[in-house]
Structure 1
């Protein structure tokens, strides 16, 4: 070992960010194991790395005792005093036992330790770098495919795209450039593992942030997203500036902004609707492009409602295989039952009957409470009369006792 080793450690610290002291500690521990493996003795062995000259020394550490029971672990007080008169029982003395051929073993061990630390450092650097991109969007190139995953090259690491995270309308081929949403970054025993998605709803949100500056700076806010990846999505937006139209801003001039997102998602249809604090209005907007005549909420469950639409727009409101209604329900977080206008006569009568029944029950409860209040009032009056009578009797008794004493 020589100064070349020190230069290599300095270079490693500068280029890879690996602490020289950390590598030396690891190297010393590995050399102890190597000494034990080759010479069968390590329980009292210490390794010292000379950071000035780059040399390695092996020492046998022995305890000073009155009587030596094991010469490999102990040294007598008499022998210790020959070395230094200050030694006492219980002190430890280091004897250098560096083998002549240990330089070759040390070099091999050093190489293994350094390579291991370099791999660990590179893994740590990659993990720290890509963990910052979790829940964000990245561009990558499709590398290869197998039965479980599609492997996407993100630069320093290969991410995995599982089948459930793929879009059903897409066919991936090597060298295709795609944008992916980083769902999770894990630091495993085999190194960092990055999981990405093309079907996650937040991919849509990040794409809008890239294409629409007003979404990125918070002027327009995406409140909720309902997505069936590869087919159709609904996005609810609201404006934090009264002078900005949230829907028009996201659509862009001649639809350029939303069209760029549609192209990135290979033709996925996009409905952008305006969010409203009024649930009925929000549900009406969410069922776009269908016209909504009325929204009736369930008296027992405020998260359930019946939506009335014109007869000729019933199929449009429901959508193909119920998709429009399903996405609207997911977007608004309400259970939506869609009915045509022609069927609403009996339904309105039923609602009126339910409301009348509720009103009747409410009135009965109110009457019962009124009666209860009257009973309470009567009891209070009776209690006051009794208290007055008791007070009068008490006063009469006290008056009589006074007269008798006189």
Structure 2
């Protein structure tokens, strides 16, 4: 192994960010294994050896290690005190003596092995670098280029590695065309046996949030907050926004001048409809806003059960519910409340029915009370009659006795 190889090795170590001590130690350990494998049959001392590499010149030497003992039972691993002192007077009992046993052609074997180890370490280091780089942007947005489709998955070029759009992460109304560039949301970054595995999405609500952060400076700066998002990818989304500055309109900031900001997000999502609503601490107000574009007349909430009863005009009912229930479904996801919507006429009819039932129940209760009173009164009258008869009989008996 020559100086040029060592210089090249150190240069690669610096470029790839690999620890120099780690790479040299790994090479030396690999050489020990190679020595035992190739020379164990010809040299019994191969069972206990150390390989040393000069990190400046690249010179490699193999040493057999033996323990200094009074009585030698195993000549492969032990050496007598007298033999050790012949090598060097400094050796004492239980010291380790190293005897060079470097084979003539071991340098060629070692060089080939070193190259293999370096290549392996370089690959591992590159994989770790890529993994750490993408792990740092997990749950963020990235631009990818469509490469191919395979077994329902779409593979995209993310720069240094490929990402995967799984079947559940693909928008139903979107075609994935080769070489097309798309904004993607990084759902998960895993470190697999072959390197980083990156799963990206076009359907995740986080994609909508990140797109608005890109287009709306007030969101990026923290003046406007996105409190919650509900999404049915490719069809419609609702986002609830709030301003930490009273002078800034959160909805206006997201819409932008002449709708320019929201239109950029809509275009990226292939014309997916986006409702921007104002978030509120008041559940009644928040739920009413969430049902936009429908106008709500009244909202009554049960905070213990997280349910809300909403009343709208008759001509607003279908708008509030939405096509196939989409509007109320997204509103429920956005607010995390169970929402029951009724038209004004339905609510009035229900109230009349409830009032009638209440009246009937009161009437029934009064009748039952009257029946109970009459029965009790009759029982008391009968008891009084019986008492009167008993008293009369007793009085007659007393009179007869006196006579």
Note the C-alpha offset of 1:354: 11
Aligned equivalents of 2:51, 2:355: Cα separation in 1: 91
Q: Distance in 2 between matches of 1:71 and 1:350?
A: 105
The alpha carbon displacement at 1:17 in A equals 1.3
The Cα shift of 1:88 comes to: 2.6
Verify: 1:119 aligned to 2:123, yes or no.
yes
Q: After TM superposition, list the pairs within 5 Å mapping 1:239-258 onto structure 2.
A: 239-258=243-262
Counterpart contact for 2:173–2:234, Cα < 8 Å = yes
- Relative to structure 1, is the Cα distance of residues 319 and 62 closer, same or farther in structure 2, using a 3 angstrom cutoff? same
Task: Identify if the C-alpha distance between structure 1 residues 222 and 30 changes in structure 2 by more than 3 Å, giving closer, same or farther.
Answer: same
Alignment of 1:1-400 (within 5 A): 1-40=1-40, 42-298=46-302, 301-348=304-351
Q: Which runs of 5+ in 1 are unaligned?
A: 357-406
Q: Please, what TM-score do these two structures have when normalized by structure 1?
A: 0.84
Residue 47 of structure 1, CA deviation: 0.6
Q: Displacement of 1:270 after TM fit?
A: 0.7
Change (3 A) 1:127 1:352: farther
Q: State the distance in 1 between where 2:354 and 2:62 align.
A: 92
Q: Work out which of the two has the higher radius of gyration on C-alpha atoms and give 1 or 2.
A: 2
Name structure 2 gaps, 5 residues minimum. Answer: 360-403
Do the aligned residues in 2 keep the contact of 1:183 with 1:197 (CA within 8 Å)? yes
For residues 83-110 of structure 1, the C-alpha deviation after alignment (integer angstroms, 9 at most, x for no partner) is 2233232222111000001011101110
Task: State the number of aligned residues.
Answer: 355
Q: SS state of the match for residue 248, structure 2?
A: coil
Distance 1:116 1:288 in 2: 59
Greater shift, 10-19 or 253-262, is seen at: 10-19
Going from structure 1 to structure 2, the CA distance change for 1:73 and 1:346 (only over 3 Å counts) comes to: same
How far apart are the structure 2 equivalents of 1:201 and 1:350? 42
The aligned residue for residue 376 of structure 1 is none
- The Cα RMSD (Å) is 1.8
Rounded to whole Å, the distance in 1 between the matches of 2:24 and 2:94 is 29
